Amino acid sequence: MSTAEPGPNAAFYVVLNAGSGHSETELRCSTIRDVLGAAGRTCHLEIVRDASQIGDIARRVANQAKEHEGVLVAAGGDGTINAVAHQAVLQGCLFGVLPQGTFNYFGRTHGIPEDLADAVRALLDARVTPVQVGMVNDRIFLVNASVGLYPQLLEAREHDKRQYGRSRVVAILSALKTALGRHRPLRIELETEGHTRKLRTATLFVGNNRLQMEQVGMEPLTEAVEEGELAAIAPRVVGKFGMLGLLVRGALGRLGDAENVVAFSFKRLRVRHAALSPRRRIKVATDGEVTRMDMPLEFRVVEGRLRLLKPVPVPEAAPDGERAPAGARLA
């Protein structure tokens, strides 16, 4: 796939998730238009006010970007970025990101500023970099995908946020309530590189993000993701106190020290039900969005299909105040 840079007058086709409210949305829109307008660049901005429409909107805007050799841009959290990136991969568009979510794992991993105006300016001087994505069946994921307890946790969190408000405290308490509640463990069969194992677990979590692996303390898997693989984490079934212990270890960045966790890396993984009467469909979370998929599940790496506009690293200042040599990167 070509990694050609965008033309000097390439237009930006922005899909923006309305998120928190009218006034905030208007401020974000004006910031994007003002920064691009000051640089003499054209901006076509589409606002997503109904989350259920984001797939259709992203598809339509991606078609426009492809037709006019423009840049498709996602403005929102990891779920919004996923939906727009999916269309960028399908259409072969250049892809830009304006992170506006809570965690912003994808944007932070690739050095994209979290301040909106700075992120827009970074698009203007960015360079095209092929980026690895994960796939589960026919859906891509940029950060993670999972089955079992984690999709239930996400659904419960959204329900509680609608009822009690969007805050980190609500998110944490909701996660604890779900993780320590009653749930049916998964009985699955994993097949990778000709090897098969059966596993009983609360959840199977597949990561595609170095930063997230670092935060929970899975250093070997961090290296694997950097080298073009996906990372699988599956806690063995434990009691409520055992689950609480795993959650605490993850929060402290020490999950890699836990004895009751199966962890490995892979290029391709097939997941089947091991039960005698398996369900044909299962809930799967991809970058925070929950859908139902047919079993078996096929996880795999797709290299270089997403052509990301990535900010140019800023050279460090040398200790004596001189500029560092070209190519030096910020830590």
179 vs 185: CA distance, rounded Å: 12
Q: In this prediction, what percent of the chain has a pLDDT beyond 90?
A: 55
Q: Is 109 found in the same domain as 151? A: no
Mean pLDDT of 254-269: 86
Q: Is 149 found in the same domain as 262? A: yes
Are the beta carbons of 112 and 99 closer than 8 angstroms? Answer: yes
The reported pLDDT for the residue numbered 319 is: 54
Domain-located, residue 3: no
Beta sheet of 289-294, edge-to-edge order:
261-266, 230-235, 203-207, 144-148, 281-286, 289-294
The residue from 102, 126, 150 where one domain ends is 126
Q: How far is CA 301 from CA 142, 149, 208, in A?
A: 10, 23, 9
Residue 324: is its pLDDT beyond 50? no
Tokens of 13: 């086709």
Domain-located, residue 96: yes
| More confident of the two residues 19 and 284 | 284
Q: Is 277 found in the same domain as 154? A: yes
| More confident of the two residues 201 and 20 | 201
Domain count, the chain: 2
Q: Is 232 found in the same domain as 151? A: yes
Confidence of residue 329 (pLDDT cuts 50, 70, 90): very low
The residue from 62, 97, 126 where one domain ends is 126
Nearest to 80 by CA among 130, 36, 142: 142
Domain-located, residue 132: no
Residue 244: is its pLDDT beyond 80? no
CATH number at residue 246: 2.60.200.40
Lowest mean pLDDT: which of 3-17, 105-119, 132-146, 176-190? Answer: 176-190
Q: Is 157 found in the same domain as 34? A: no
Are the beta carbons of 18 and 48 closer than 8 angstroms? Answer: yes
The reported pLDDT for the residue numbered 326 is: 40
Residue 330: is its pLDDT beyond 60? no
Q: Assign 173 to helix, strand or coil.
A: helix
279 vs 275: CA distance, rounded Å: 9
The reported pLDDT for the residue numbered 272 is: 92
241 vs 239: CA distance, rounded Å: 6
Lowest mean pLDDT: which of 55-69, 133-147, 156-170, 258-272? Answer: 156-170
Q: In this prediction, what percent of the chain has a pLDDT beyond 70?
A: 82
Beta-sheet pairing, 203-207 with 186-192: unpaired
Residue 252: is its pLDDT beyond 70? no
Mean pLDDT of 54-68: 95
132 vs 102: CA distance, rounded Å: 22
Q: Is 253 found in the same domain as 219? A: yes
CATH number at residue 53: 3.40.50.10330
329 vs 314: CA distance, rounded Å: 6
Strand partners, 150: none
Half-sphere exposure of 185 (CA within 13 A, CB side): 16
Mean pLDDT of 257-264: 85
Lowest mean pLDDT: which of 22-36, 60-74, 211-225, 311-325? Answer: 311-325
> Cβ contacts of residue 74 below 8 Å, gap of 6+?
14, 15, 58, 80, 81, 83, 84, 85, 95, 96, 97, 98
Q: What is the pTM of this model?
A: 0.84
Q: Is 166 found in the same domain as 283? A: yes
22 vs 144: CA distance, rounded Å: 30
Mean pLDDT of 221-229: 92
Beta strands in the chain (DSSP E): 12-17, 43-48, 71-76, 94-99, 127-136, 139-141, 144-148, 186-192, 195-201, 203-207, 230-235, 261-266, 268-273, 281-286, 289-294, 297-310
The reported pLDDT for the residue numbered 40 is: 94
Residue 261: is its pLDDT beyond 60? yes
Per-residue pLDDT reduced to its tens digit, 19-51: 656 778 899 999 999 999 999 999 999 999 888
Q: How far is CA 317 from CA 110, 111, 250, 310, 320, in A?
A: 21, 18, 35, 21, 8
Nearest to 95 by CA among 114, 111, 75: 75
Q: Is 287 found in the same domain as 253? A: yes
The secondary structure element, H or E, covering residue 226 is helix 219-226
The residue from 67, 101, 126 where one domain ends is 126
Residue 327: is its pLDDT beyond 50? no
The reported pLDDT for the residue numbered 24 is: 85
Q: Is 157 found in the same domain as 23? A: no
Residue 284: is its pLDDT beyond 80? yes
Q: Is 195 found in the same domain as 92? A: no
Q: Assign 136 to helix, strand or coil.
A: strand
> Cβ contacts of residue 298 below 8 Å, gap of 6+?
135, 136, 137, 268, 269, 270, 271
Q: Is 186 found in the same domain as 71? A: no
Positive or negative torsion for Cα 329, 80, 249, 149: negative
**Average per-residue pLDDT for the chain:** 85
Domain-located, residue 311: no
Domain-located, residue 265: yes
The reported pLDDT for the residue numbered 147 is: 94
Q: Is 290 found in the same domain as 148? A: yes
The reported pLDDT for the residue numbered 320 is: 54
Domain-located, residue 35: yes
Q: Which domain holds residue 16?
A: 12-126
Domain-located, residue 322: no
Domain-located, residue 331: no
Mean pLDDT of 80-88: 95
Are the beta carbons of 230 and 210 closer than 8 angstroms? Answer: no
